Structure 1
């Protein structure tokens, strides 16, 4: 294992991945819940963004990371920035893919409904994503990757688990793609607050440089 890997709860993430261009790691965190004072960790998360994302965040220069973490407008600007983004998720606690698919569908559908953008096309796109995860089993160390292109706004979702080849699905409904980003990068409403806080701190440093 390369020594420059970034460890998230002991799970290695490369400091940079290359899609059509190099995307540096800008934020890391976990999805977890606390049950009877025990922290149950589900996934480790890495957020990769184009360096040029900072050019779209000029309004927040000079702000501290802790301020940005509480500012949903800041994360709205990250999501709407026309740059490539990649979210890499590594499974810590085994679950059925169908469980993850239902959580994703519910989170995205609720966000779409809240802004009155949940129509037949969005429903169909979400159903395909749910079907994609339906047959999967998320063993520990399985990797789910969401790769978001900038223009047009599309997403490629890939899944890799031990002993099986990579499987992929393309999502071309821009409303659904936007809300998948917001599920993970939605500021105070994001599914992983540790990721949101870490991303805010790293971007605050980038904006101060």
Structure 2
């Protein structure tokens, strides 16, 4: 099982990733935009979750994937469930690290501001992330990962390009870490609708067992 790959737009994603325990690929998709009828693809995304997450989602048992995909309360529960989560982002269209960092910063800042959680500590936390990506160049096939441990409200970010692990950082601000989660797991406001649909379908299937 562990060696099988799932292809997401020609990019291989392992079925499982082991952090402190094995996490399963529960959803995948793309970030893209349509310009003059052309689909421009930016990144391929794999969302890995501890299979135990279904224990925390029982109230949605029996709901079909298309219903879950538009249920923001469901994705709030997915993001908040006290289990390990891991996002693997593969760059398709190369982008400066400063551009990626800027996108992440504005998405997270907007979410924090909407919930009235944007204070000095959060601003500092976001500045560190922007600084981390500032010097990076995200070539095609570079990999960005976010690991959210079950036991702490932090996020570990790693960046690697051309197979070499380049750098790591820890986001210690819990509010910032939570909003990065919601950038990718935000239901109808998530950055990748195809990933949300994939997650909703897979979790619906797992909940029906």
Class of the TM-score when normalised by the shorter of the 2 chains: over 0.9
| Contact kept in structure 1, 2:3 and 2:14, CA below 8 Å | no
Residues matched between the structures, number: 208
Instruction: Give how far 1:147 is off.
Output: 0.2
SS at the partner of 1:166? strand
SS at the partner of 2:40? strand
The CA RMSD measured in Å over matched residues stands at: 1.1
- Tell whether 2:68 aligns with 1:68: yes
Instruction: Give how far 1:152 is off.
Output: 1.7
Deviations 1:49-102 (A, max 9, x none): 001000000110000000000000000000110000000000000010000000
TM superposition outliers: structure 1 runs of 4+ over 4 Å: none
Structure 1 unaligned spans of 5+: none
Which range moves more in the overlay, 98-107 or 164-173? 164-173
SS at the partner of 1:153? coil
Instruction: Give how far 1:4 is off.
Output: 1.7
Partner of 1:22: 22
1:1-209 paired onto structure 2 within 5 Å: 4-162=4-162, 164-209=164-209
C-alpha distance in 2, partners of 1:115/1:11? 35
When normalised by structure 2's length, the TM-score is 0.98
SS at the partner of 2:17? strand
When normalised by structure 1's length, the TM-score is 0.98
C-alpha distance in 2, partners of 1:10/1:51? 26
